[in-house]
Amino acid sequence: MKPKLIRVTTISSTMTSILKGQMKFISEYFDVVAVTSKYDDYFEEIEKRENVKVVDLKMFRKISVFSDIISLLRMILIIRNEKPTIVHSQTPKAGLLAMSASWLLHVPIRIHSVVGVPIYAENKGFKRSVLLLCEKLTLFFANEVYPNSNGVRDFLIENNLCNKSKISIVGKGSSNGIDVCHFSRLHFDEFTNEKVRTELNFSKDDFVFCFVGRICIDKGINELVDAFIDLRKKIIEKPIKLLLIGPYFKNDDAIDNRVFSIINNHADIKYIGLQKEIRPYLFSSNCFVFPTYREGLPNVLLQAGAMEMPIIATNVVGCNDIIRNEVNGLLVEAKNSSKLMNAMQRLFNENDLAKKISGNSRQSIIDNYSQNYYWNELKKEYEYQLSKREIL
């Protein structure tokens, strides 16, 4: 019999996007059960595409004491019924619930992936204290911790969040690696560019800055919109556009009302929501901008790099693991719309710099973050944990 593995994320879109294909690969070697909440339209895809059993467990991203207790009790029931050898969680709420439940039930291998600087770091006061406690409890209950970048590992150690002996990085980092064959410009041509730009009502001469991610404060959307508006005032004679792709949750780290109004009313800003297929939009854009406040190792930068895009990202943990300034991207200070605008202006004006960066982008991703390499390293890590405990 295959060892049983339960994989847990707070919301189903994490499994369908960030972890796409991983459980299908691992299911060849393990009996995999996916546990996540039916939070969006992607839940039904998981079982079909990943070929694993999927269990719906309602979880909320934000703290909700009564609901969280109910979710914990249900998590305990799921783990008791499934009797896994490994429970592997990702995302903060899923980690707290899955690690505490599996610790209570003495699951032999309890793994939590830390995929960014913990959320408490961006909060203050009582909320920060609560989130810090939750993070410490999650890492205490886990007996193995997988940060998805060297920067995140260093953060955990420097802030005494976790015993160093628990920490391992799978491969060279990432949560899932990237399919460099799938994310390639070779799949598209000028017809794709014309079709996408017609759909967006952009002209062939427009210079398009593209962002992919949650439309929220944490991802730097306030600064991105302000930087674009300031750049638009400077560049009057040439057409530039801002394309925003990703989910917007009104009650979850929502952007300023002022910025939300600009996004919905500015003639040169196009917001198209969450898209299952982002490659044509990356192909048809001129520059990728990712002004996030905190990350682990962002998949979207791997995707944009594999698509040979000039990239601007903030100089924060995770982004600076992928991007080398002036080599395969530009790094700017987080929460600084002025410096972000200057970087955007540089890549708009300096064609040689943009070509240099795009020329280096793809190879750096192939060399370090290929998906098949990551999946095999993850399988080896699971097998190592089993052999270490003499379970195999």
How do residues 157-166 score in pLDDT, each as one tens digit?
Answer: 998 999 999 9
Residues 350, 299 share a domain: yes
Instruction: Tell me the longest C-alpha to C-alpha distance in the chain.
Output: 69
Number of other residues whose CB lies within 10 A of the CB of residue 172:
17
Domain hosting residue 161, numbered range: 4-177+371-388
Q: Is the pLDDT of residue 277 over 90?
A: yes
- The secondary structure element, H or E, covering residue 269 is strand 269-271
Asked whether residue 185 carries a pLDDT value surpassing 70, the answer given is: yes
Which among 89, 201, 64 has a CA at the least distance from the CA of 142?
Answer: 89
**Per-residue pLDDT tens for 280-325?**
999 999 999 999 998 878 889 999 999 999 999 999 988 999 999 9
pLDDT at position 118: 66
User: What SS3 state is found at 89?
Assistant: strand
Number of domains in the chain: 2
Looking at the fold, whether 306 and 384 belong to one and the same domain comes out as no
At residue 212, the pLDDT reads 97
Does 18 share its domain with 164? yes
The least confident of 40-44, 110-114, 267-271 is 40-44
For residue 111, list its beta bridge partners: 88, 144
Average pLDDT over residues 178-183: 94
Average pLDDT along the chain: 92
**383 plus 364 within the same structural domain:** no
**pLDDT recorded at residue 123:** 59
Residue 270 has pLDDT above 80, yes or no: yes
pLDDT band of 39, cuts 50, 70, 90: low
Range with lowest mean pLDDT among 7-11, 70-74, 317-321, 383-387? 317-321
Alpha-carbon distance of 340 to 80, in angstroms, equals 50
Instruction: Residue 241: name the closest of 199, 276, 292, 191 by CA.
Output: 199
pLDDT of residue 221: 96
Q: What is the mean pLDDT of residues 245-249?
A: 89
Contact 135, 161 (CB under 8 A): yes
Q: Verify that 139 and 217 share a domain, yes or no.
A: no
Q: Are residues 8 and 151 in the same domain?
A: yes
Q: Is 201 exposed, middle or buried (0-12, 13-18, 19+ CB in 10 A)?
A: exposed
Question: Do 145 and 36 share a structural domain?
Answer: yes
What predicted TM-score, i.e. pTM, was given to this entire model? 0.78
Would you say 304 and 319 are in contact if contact means Cβ atoms under 8 Å apart? no
Q: Are residues 169 and 195 in the same domain?
A: no
Residues 159 and 189 in one domain: no
Q: What is the pLDDT of residue 209?
A: 98
Q: 121: pLDDT confidence band, cut at 50, 70 and 90?
A: low
Mean pLDDT, rounded, for 273-285: 95
Q: What is the CA radius of gyration of the chain?
A: 21
* Interval 330-349 mean pLDDT: 97
Residue 120 has pLDDT above 60, yes or no: no
Q: What 3-state class would DSSP assign to 117?
A: coil
pLDDT computed for residue 375 by the predictor: 96
How far CA 247 is from CA of 134, 258, 349, 373, in Å, comes to 25, 18, 31, 30
Beta-carbon contacts of 367 under 8 Å, excluding residues fewer than 6 positions away, are: none
The edge-to-edge listing of strands for the beta sheet with 287-290 is 269-271, 240-245, 207-212, 287-290, 311-314, 330-332
Identify whether residues 361 and 376 lie together within a single domain: no
Helix axes 221-234, 337-349, angle to 10 degrees: 50
**pLDDT of 52 higher than 60:** yes
User: What is the per-residue pLDDT for 61?
Assistant: 75
Q: Of 61-75, 113-127, 185-199, which range is least confident?
A: 113-127
Q: Between 299-306 and 351-369, two packed helices, what is the crossing angle to 10 degrees?
A: 120
CATH number where 9 lies: 3.40.50.2000
C-alpha distances out from residue 213 to 14, 221, 288, 299, 356, Å: 12, 10, 11, 10, 25
204-243: per-residue pLDDT in tens? 999 999 999 999 999 999 999 999 999 999 987 889 999 9
Q: Which residues contact 257 (CB under 8 A, 6 or more apart)?
A: none
On the question of pLDDT at 192 being above 70, the answer is yes
Say yes or no to pLDDT of 189 above 90: yes
Q: Are 2 and 84 in contact (CB under 8 A)?
A: no
Q: Which of 114, 334, 325 is nearest to 223 (CA)?
A: 334
Q: 110 and 202 in one domain?
A: no
Helices (H), the chain: 12-13, 22-26, 43-50, 65-82, 92-104, 125-141, 150-158, 190-200, 221-234, 257-265, 279-283, 299-306, 319-322, 337-349, 351-369, 371-388
Angle among Cα 117, 160, 140 to the nearest 5 degrees reads: 85
Cβ neighbors of 372 (< 8 A, separation 6 or more) are: 177
Residues 200, 272: Cα–Cα separation, whole Å: 9
126 has pLDDT over 80: no
Q: Which residue has the higher pLDDT, 112 or 49?
A: 112
Instruction: For residues 41 and 101, state if they share a domain.
Output: yes
